[in-house]
Amino acid sequence: MITKLFSSTVILGILASGIRLATPYLYAAIGETFGQRSGVLNLGVEGQMLLGAFAAFYVSWRTGNLWLGLLAAIIVGAVMGLAMAFVTVNLHAEQGISGIGFYLFGLGMSDLLFQKLVGTVKTIQGFPALHIPVLSDIPVLGEVFFSHNILVYGAYALVPIAWFVLNKTTLGLKIRSIGENPQAADSLGISVAAVRYYTIIQGGILSGIAGASLSIGLLNVFQQNMTSGLGFIAVALVYFGAWRPLGVLGGALLFSMVNAFQLWLQVLGVPIPSDLAVMLPYVLTILVLVAAASKVRAPSALAKPFEREA
Amino acid sequence: MSHKQDVLPSARAHIETVEMRGITKRFPGVLANDHVDFDVHAGEVHALLGENGAGKSTLMKILYGLYQPDEGEIYINGQPVTIHSPSDAIRLGIGMIHQHFMLVETMTVAENVALGLPSSRGFLTDLDVVSQRILALADIYGLKIDPNAYIWQLSVGQQQRVEIIKALYRGASLLILDEPTAVLTPQEVDELFAIMRQMTQDGHALIFISHKLHEVIEISDRVTVLRDGRKIGTRPTSETTKSALANWMVGREVALTLDREPVEVGDVRLALENVHCGSDRGTPGLRGVSLEVRGGEILGIAGVSGNGQRELAEVITGLREVTEGKVILEGEDITALLPGERTDRGLSYIPEERMKDGIIQDFTVAENLILREHHKPPFSYRGFLNQRFISQHSAELIRAFRIKTPSQKTLAKNLSGGNIQKIVLARELARHPRVIIAAQPTRGLDIGATEYVREQLLEQRRQGVAVMLISEDLDEILALSDRIAVIYEGQIMDILPNENVSVERLGLLMAGVREPAEAQA
Ligand SMILES: Nc1ncnc2c1ncn2[C@@H]1O[C@H](COP(=O)(O)OP(=O)(O)OP(=O)(O)O)[C@@H](O)[C@H]1O
Ligand SMILES: [Mg+2]
């Protein structure tokens, strides 16, 4: 049975599903990376994802148009981001606590809406796999890399774009400076509030898409608390990736591969208690964070509200 | 040599005159500026003098748009202007070097300069173009700087140059320098003055704040004195002297010299035996330091900043690990003790970075005054603070040390720089210490407060306390110390009695040169 695990079909299967499963992590964690680089810790990612997942599912289900569903997730994410920005930037709320508030709101609200508007679990037809011409015909590799739905490709495209924006643009320079020393940025006439509004709203949008990638891309259903901690792992991945998009990519892949691995363990009926298998990625999160701790410094102003005196 | 206009991205409006009229600014319980008139024009250095808390930084922050005045107007070239924020100030051609630098440590010089400016490539950064312009600007003003260096790699003096370049790059025509020399070595001060002279020749207007009167005399054209938020007057610098300025500022006679009467020297209170330790940059911090301080004596530690002074204070107070050697307090080996245990044994510490290490910014003045002793009677009994005693004790210290604060309940961070230092001093001296480590105790203090602190240290010496005075100010070392140890690259070069020591000899030792005769011996 163990030997079956190492057959080429299984390994390729793990790779392909690992690549696919990294999608929600990537959207959410890249969004969080921007927020944290600007000094804002958003622990509400999970809630934003849940509402995004529901909005995408519901609108797609009602209209039959997946793109409208995705748009709904984006709008819901943006509104959640706007609320979060107002609370943290204008009201100087404690970011960790208000983030948890947003999480609980998203968790409860998405379930309530689901009960009221949908009722029972329904599946829909999500985004279909998009076989990239020529590339997807390559034996083996084509299946693993080039036969995913559009949201998966989008997630991977986001990584170099995020790197580029953070490191090569004037906006990226502003974001990084505000996360390190908002007083300095302020003294140069940069609006700390405006930049933080931007990163928090963008983070909300990406979390919304992350949710959509589950409900209308990977799983094609909506269920209560369907993200089950994924948003929190995305926050952890930002630390793991040392606040760099490439590091976040590495972390997301590692986790989704482990996740894919444990799913296959269960599929193949390897005699490991399934609860233990499910725990695997979470235990790994903790171990990796402990190992990564103190190697890289967090943005100095992370989670500190900014206020010009008097 | 290229000219400034060829280098700068965009020419700003030139400032011929700036006038502040009737500026008033109130903070809770404080009138920081009271109808102050102030003006500066192109080609001059106008010095702003005043005791700690007189309102100098406040006035300048108003000019730079960081604070809004409650009353008063600002005119540039005769036209009224309103300055709501730093970006307004920058647009009008005003630049400011803050008392506490405004740099992003994890970014490069070029990134810090480019920050917030439009780029020649639209939304993409143009750091290579910025770097070239920085080098060209640096060339004009004789500033040495590497645009690709990270800020954390630079010395304080170099960081200040980055601040100056930042302002020049933005086309600042008026530059405000708030205590720029407080953290510089004498050589760096000379370099700064050379840059400032070049700038005034170029038609810049400069405002210069300092507590060091000889600097004001040397560099400024006019002096304005503030006292308690009010303007006392403005005079041409050529018509005044150091002692006249001192008296004018404080409103009474100030003794600029101290008398250090002989005192009986007691037992060894603090000893270091061959102490080694690391530093923050991974280089060896201390490399075999041995010395002794006796009761009733002041041992001065002279040296150029960054030669191990910080590490020395930290190994004694327990904030840094000793890798080899021993620290001995009154005969007891305390090398392994925690900072708090050392404090309880009578060690007092006046840290160099008082904002960070000396106070808790969001605690009140009273709370900061009892930080060291709060867990002991009479400050607390069985874990309960004795508020009545604490407030009585705080009131006494505030009076004795002339701490300028609206109340005991004011947050420490709202006090002026010099008054924060007085909180630390009052706390550390009032507890009847056995040994005092004083690191740059008068940095940033006005002359009245400086005089007071020095007298206090001499008073402690008279009472038989052992004092280690770490200072980069040679005049201070010479005025207070009984013996002088010179530190260089983590080693003690020599320890000399403070009798007929020549400044030249100390200067050579501070540069790491032992006298030839001695080297042979
Ligand atoms: N943000 C603030 N909130 C409340 N009070 C303040 C604030 N800033 C300054 N003050 C008070 O205003 C007065 C003037 O302070 P200011 O910093 O202008 O003094 P200063 O002349 O620059 O002194 P120093 O030489 O010590 O730097 C002080 O009494 C200070 O306590
Ligand atoms: Mg000041």
Shortest distance between the Cα of A210 and any Cα of chain B, in A, equals 27
B170/B201 same-domain check: yes
Quick one: which of A47, A39, A29 has its CA closest to A83? Answer: A47
B232/B265 same-domain check: no
Is the CB of B32 inside a 6 Å radius of any atom of ligand 1?
Answer: yes
Residue B200: enclosing H or E segment and its boundaries?
helix B186-201
Three-state SS at A208: helix
3-state SS record for B139-150 = HHHCCCCCCCCE
**pLDDT at residue A207 in the model:** 98
Minimum CA distance residue for ligand 1 atom 27: B417
Are the beta carbons of A181 and B103 separated by less than 8 Å?
A: yes
A33 Cα distance to chain centroid: 10
Contacts of B111 in chain A (CB under 8 A): 173, 177
Establish if B92 belongs to a structural domain.
yes
**pLDDT at residue A281 in the model:** 77
For chain A, the 3-state helix, strand and coil shares in percent, each to the nearest 5, are 75, 5, 25
Establish if B107 belongs to a structural domain.
yes
Supply the Cα-derived Rg of chain A in whole angstroms.
20
Is the distance from CB of B355 to CB of B361 less than 8 angstroms?
Answer: yes
Is the distance from CB of B478 to CB of B257 less than 8 angstroms?
Answer: no
Are the beta carbons of A170 and B114 separated by less than 8 Å?
A: yes
Find which of A92, A171, A173, A244 to mutate to test the B interface (most B CBs within 10 Å of its CB): A173
Residue A69 predicted with pLDDT over 70: yes
B305/B372 same-domain check: no
Find which of B63, B104, B124 to mutate to test the A interface (most A CBs within 10 Å of its CB): B104
B297/B235 same-domain check: no
Is the CB of B437 inside a 6 Å radius of any atom of ligand 1?
Answer: no
Which of B86, B106, B124 is closest, CB to CB, to A186?
Answer: B86
Residue B428 predicted with pLDDT over 50: yes
Is the CB of B56 inside a 6 Å radius of any atom of ligand 1?
Answer: yes
Are the beta carbons of B102 and A184 separated by less than 8 Å?
A: yes
**pLDDT at residue A210 in the model:** 97
- Asked which of B226, B250, B274 is the last residue of a domain, the reply is B250
Is ipTM over 0.90? no
B197/B341 same-domain check: no
**pLDDT at residue B519 in the model:** 46
- Per-residue pLDDT reduced to its tens digit, B234-275: 999 999 998 889 888 887 776 666 778 888 888 999 999 999
Domain encompassing residue B9:
2-250
| CATH number, position B269 | 3.40.50.300
Quick one: which of B63, B55, B72, B56 has its CA closest to B18? Answer: B63
The encoded tokens of residue B264 equal 């009986």
Establish if B351 belongs to a structural domain.
no
- Asked which of B415, B431, B447 is the last residue of a domain, the reply is B431
Is the CB of B423 inside a 6 Å radius of any atom of ligand 1?
Answer: no
B513 Cα distance to chain centroid: 28
**pLDDT at residue B255 in the model:** 65
With CA atoms as reference, the chain B residue closest to A186 would be B86
**pLDDT at residue A65 in the model:** 96
| CA-CA-CA-CA dihedral for B283, B359, B210, B159, to nearest 10 | 30
B372/B328 same-domain check: no
**pLDDT at residue A160 in the model:** 97
Angle, helices A192-213 vs A45-63, to 10°: value is 50
Are the beta carbons of B104 and A181 separated by less than 8 Å?
A: yes
B78/B156 same-domain check: yes
Is the CB of B414 inside a 6 Å radius of any atom of ligand 1?
Answer: yes
Interfacial residues of B (vs A; Cβ cutoff 8 Å)? 27, 64, 66-68, 85-91, 96, 98, 102-107, 111-112, 114-119, 123-125, 166
Residue B520 predicted with pLDDT over 60: no
- Per-residue pLDDT reduced to its tens digit, A227-274: 988 999 999 999 889 899 999 999 999 889 988 888 888 888 778 887
Interfacial residues of A (vs B; Cβ cutoff 8 Å)? 168-174, 176-177, 180-181, 183-190, 297, 300, 308-310
Supply the Cα-derived Rg of chain B in whole angstroms.
24
Residue B53 predicted with pLDDT over 60: yes
Are the beta carbons of A169 and B107 separated by less than 8 Å?
A: no
**pLDDT at residue B345 in the model:** 92
The encoded tokens of residue B18 equal 């700036």
B327/B470 same-domain check: yes
The encoded tokens of residue B285 equal 């911090």
- Asked which of B196, B227, B250 is the last residue of a domain, the reply is B250
Minimum CA distance residue for ligand 1 atom 8: B414
Provide DSSP, B72-87.
EEEEETTEEE---SHH
Establish if B135 belongs to a structural domain.
yes
Query: What percent of chain B is modeled with pLDDT above 70?
Result: 95
B13/B80 same-domain check: yes
Residue A90 predicted with pLDDT over 90: yes
Contacts of B104 in chain A (CB under 8 A): 176-177, 180-181, 184-185
Q: What is the mean pLDDT of residues A111-131?
A: 91
Measure B79 CA to ligand 2 centroid, in angstroms: 28
Query: What percent of chain B is modeled with pLDDT above 90?
Result: 55
pLDDT band, residue A43 (cuts 50/70/90): very high
A236 Cα distance to chain centroid: 11
Q: What is the mean pLDDT of residues A101-114?
A: 96
B123/B147 same-domain check: yes
Shortest distance between the Cα of A237 and any Cα of chain B, in A, equals 22
d(CA B121, CA B107): 20
Three-state SS at B512: coil
d(CA B84, CA B66): 8
Read off the DSSP letter of residue A87: I
With CA atoms as reference, the chain A residue closest to B88 would be A189
Is the distance from CB of A83 to CB of A109 less than 8 angstroms?
Answer: no
B49/B70 same-domain check: yes
**pLDDT at residue A221 in the model:** 93
B32 backbone dihedrals φ, ψ, rounded to 5° = -75, -35
Three-state SS at A150: helix
Which of B27, B67, B85 is closest, CB to CB, to A189?
Answer: B85
What's the number of domains chain B is made of? 3
Shortest distance between the Cα of A117 and any Cα of chain B, in A, equals 44
Residue from B26, B33, B36, B57 to probe ligand 1 pocket by mutation (most atoms less than 8 Å from CB): B57
Residue A289 predicted with pLDDT over 80: no
**pLDDT at residue A8 in the model:** 78
d(CA B96, CA B164): 8
Is the distance from CB of B213 to CB of B447 less than 8 angstroms?
Answer: yes
d(CA B416, CA B403): 10
Ligand with minimal distance to B444 CA: 1
Is the CB of A308 inside a 6 Å radius of any atom of ligand 1?
Answer: no
B339/B364 same-domain check: no
- Per-residue pLDDT reduced to its tens digit, B15-26: 999 999 999 999
Is the distance from CB of B86 to CB of A188 less than 8 angstroms?
Answer: yes
pLDDT band, residue B83 (cuts 50/70/90): very high
Q: How far is CA B25 from CA B69, B73, B97, B127, in A?
A: 5, 12, 21, 40
Are the beta carbons of B123 and A185 separated by less than 8 Å?
A: no
d(CA B65, CA B71): 14
Number of Cβ within 10 Å of residue A23's Cβ equals 26
For A2-120+127-293, which CATH class? mainly alpha
Most confident option among A252-266, B16-30, B151-165, B302-316: B16-30
Residue B510 predicted with pLDDT over 90: no
